[in-house]
């Protein structure tokens, strides 16, 4: 961070307002420019990945036994005979307008497929984040307040295990124990076969659709299906949020204003929640925004294990069938969401923390 340039007192009072807006506008242009550059880079990386594929995209369309004339015509139509720079320009122009080509797997435009599967992932990741916040924040605060106690050790172990367990294995073991042995939760997928298509998709998020249709039997079935994958995914978000909350709180509790608050005779609750916690709220919000991005990553393997029909399953299905349009479309979308979340957390920090103004 750069401090403001030193100015004489007169110029500060005269030019405060205008220079602040000027700085804000410059900063906005700078941030938007860097986001645009990053997205362009992201498209360049995916373009290169798409080019190194050993599969000939023309052969995939015309078939192995097509005559040479047909092959060349298809190649021309796909623009593959043009220079690489021209191809990249077309790739970017198409991607910006949301055209990622047609999926070989479903024979539909990739963007339509993604629109269809995306709500399922949003639903899962949001629920997982809520679980992570609801458990991670209190546990992190408690671990910091009772530093070096058993609560602290539990929090540390949860964090360590969260860094060491493969998410797909945790999901499989969860299915084995809570579905097959105990029967507490529903199995794979979003609904049982009996409830399939019982509610018409409005938002695509099954819990909300059931609520809108007031179909509480379907809702209960959907809850039984989502609870295990959301908990498995939420565990990783919990581990991350808890670790960050703990270290933020430990830092704050060591500061002098906390000692001053204690000397004043405030209750421990007021000291911790009223003083220290209020000061970590801003960095915590940015941590939660980032954890949402990491969940998108975790959801790829989780969705595969739970046969959850979301973006992660779509990506792995496309991968296994070498459907590069689907793979690249999903990759670009996830990358853009990641960039968006980073931007959001940066913005939230600026808006919520008065010191950055």
Partner 1 sequence: MRAPTGTTWREYLTAATPTSRRHATVQRVYLAWVPFSRNPTAIVGLVIVALVVAVAMFAPWLASHSPIAQDLSYRLAPSTAAHWLGTDELGRDIYSRLVWGTRTVLRVIFLVAVITGPIGLIVGAAAGYVGGWWDAALMRITDIFLAFPRLILALALTSALGPGIDNAIIAIGLTGWPPLARLARAETLTIRSSDFIAAARVVGASASRIVFRHVMPLCMPSLIVRLTLDMAGVILIAAGLGFLGLGAQPPQPEWGAMIASGRKFVFDQWWIAAYPGIAICILSLGFNLFGDGLRDALDPKAST
Are 141 and 132 within 8 A, CB to CB?
Answer: no
**Binding segment for partner 1 among 1-9, 20-28, 61-69, 312-320 (CB under 8 A)?**
312-320
Our CB check for partner 1 shows the closer of 19 and 316 to be 316
Q: Quick check: 44 binds partner 1 (CB under 8 A)? A: yes
Q: Quick check: 266 binds partner 1 (CB under 8 A)? A: no
Q: How far apart are the first and last CA of the chain?
A: 12
User: C-beta of 320: minimal distance to partner 1 in Å?
Assistant: 7
Of these, 122, 305, 308, 314, which contacts partner 1 (CB under 8 A)? 305
Q: Quick check: 301 binds partner 1 (CB under 8 A)? A: yes
Are 233 and 124 within 8 A, CB to CB?
Answer: yes
Give residues 319-338 in contact with partner 1 (rule: CB under 8 A). Answer: 319-320, 322, 324, 327-328, 331, 334-335, 338
User: C-beta of 215: minimal distance to partner 1 in Å?
Assistant: 29
Query: Residue 146 and residue 143: Cα distance in Å, rounded?
Result: 5
Compute the Cα dihedral for 245, 354, 340, 229 and give only its sign: positive
**Binding segment for partner 1 among 104-112, 200-208, 298-306, 346-354 (CB under 8 A)?**
298-306
Query: Residue 77 and residue 62: Cα distance in Å, rounded?
Result: 12
Of these, 66, 104, 151, 165, which contacts partner 1 (CB under 8 A)? 165
Instruction: Give 32-36's long-range contacts (Cβ < 8 A, gap of 24+).
Output: 35/339, 35/343
Give residues 96-155 in contact with partner 1 (rule: CB under 8 A). Answer: none
Reduced to 3 states (helix: H, G, I; strand: E, B; else coil), residue 215 is: coil
Of these, 300, 303, 308, 313, which contacts partner 1 (CB under 8 A)? 300
Compute the Cα dihedral for 78, 83, 85, 86 and give only its sign: negative
Our CB check for partner 1 shows the closer of 215 and 297 to be 297
User: C-beta of 15: minimal distance to partner 1 in Å?
Assistant: 29
Interface with partner 1: number of residues (CB under 8 A): 53
User: C-beta of 319: minimal distance to partner 1 in Å?
Assistant: 5
User: C-beta of 168: minimal distance to partner 1 in Å?
Assistant: 5
Query: Residue 24 and residue 45: Cα distance in Å, rounded?
Result: 31
User: C-beta of 127: minimal distance to partner 1 in Å?
Assistant: 19
Our CB check for partner 1 shows the closer of 175 and 230 to be 175
Of these, 155, 296, 313, 345, which contacts partner 1 (CB under 8 A)? 296
Query: Residue 296 and residue 302: Cα distance in Å, rounded?
Result: 10
Are 42 and 59 within 8 A, CB to CB?
Answer: no
Are 206 and 229 within 8 A, CB to CB?
Answer: no
- 140 contact partners, CB below 8 Å, separation of at least 6: 155, 241, 242, 243, 244, 245, 246, 248, 249
Length reported for the chain: 357
Instruction: Give 7-15's long-range contacts (Cβ < 8 A, gap of 24+).
Output: none
Give residues 168-187 in contact with partner 1 (rule: CB under 8 A). Answer: 168-169, 172-173, 175-176, 180
Our CB check for partner 1 shows the closer of 58 and 296 to be 296
DSSP letter (8 states) at residue 191: S
Specify which residues 109 forms β-bridges with: 102
Our CB check for partner 1 shows the closer of 166 and 354 to be 166
Phi, psi of 66 (to 5 degrees): -65, 145
The residues of the shown chain that bind partner 1, judged by CB under 8 A, are: 34, 37-39, 41-42, 44-46, 49-50, 52-54, 160-161, 163-169, 172-173, 175-176, 180, 247, 250-251, 293-294, 296-297, 300-301, 304-305, 315-316, 319-320, 322, 324, 327-328, 331, 334-335, 338-339, 342
């Amino acid at each position: 961070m750069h401090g403001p340039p030193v100015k004489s007192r007169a110029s500060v009072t005269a030019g405060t307002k205008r220079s602040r807006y000027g700085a804000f506008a410059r900063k906005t242009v700078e941030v938007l420019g860097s986001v645009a550059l990053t997205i362009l880079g992201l498209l360049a990386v995916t373009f290169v990945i798409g080019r190194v594929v050993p599969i000939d995209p023309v052969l995939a369309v015309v078939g192995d036994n097509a005559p040479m004339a047909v092959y060349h015509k298809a190649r021309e139509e796909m623009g593959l005979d043009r220079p690489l720079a021209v191809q990249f320009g077309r790739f970017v122009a198409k991607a910006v307008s949301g055209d990622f080509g047609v999926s070989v797997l479903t024979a539909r435009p990739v963007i339509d497929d993604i629109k269809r599967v995306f709500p399922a992932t949003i639903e899962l990741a949001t629920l997982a984040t809520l679980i992570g916040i609801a458990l991670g924040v209190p546990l992190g605060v408690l671990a910091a307040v009772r530093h070096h106690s058993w609560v602290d050790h539990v929090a540390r172990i949860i964090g360590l295990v969260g860094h060491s367990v493969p998410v797909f294995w945790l999901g499989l073991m969860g299915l084995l124990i809570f579905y097959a042995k105990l029967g507490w939760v529903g199995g794979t997928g979003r609904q049982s076969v009996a409830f399939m298509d019982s509610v018409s998709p409005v938002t695509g998020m099954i819990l909300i659709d059931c609520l809108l249709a007031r179909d509480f039997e379907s809702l209960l079935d959907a809850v039984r299906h989502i609870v295990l994958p959301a908990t498995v995914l939420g565990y990783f978000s919990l581990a991350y949020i808890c670790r960050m909350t703990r270290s933020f709180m430990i830092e704050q509790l060591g500061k002098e204003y906390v000692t001053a608050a204690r000397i004043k005779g405030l209750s421990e609750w007021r000291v911790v929640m009223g003083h220290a916690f209020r000061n970590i709220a801003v960095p915590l919000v940015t941590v939660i925004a980032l954890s949402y991005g990491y969940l998108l990553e975790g959801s790829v393997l989780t969705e595969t294990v739970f046969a959850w029909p979301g973006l992660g399953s779509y990506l792995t299905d496309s991968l296994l069938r070498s459907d590069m349009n689907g793979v690249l479309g999903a990759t670009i979308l996830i990358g853009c969401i990641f960039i968006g979340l980073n931007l959001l957390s940066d913005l939230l920090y600026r808006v919520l923390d008065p010191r950055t103004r």
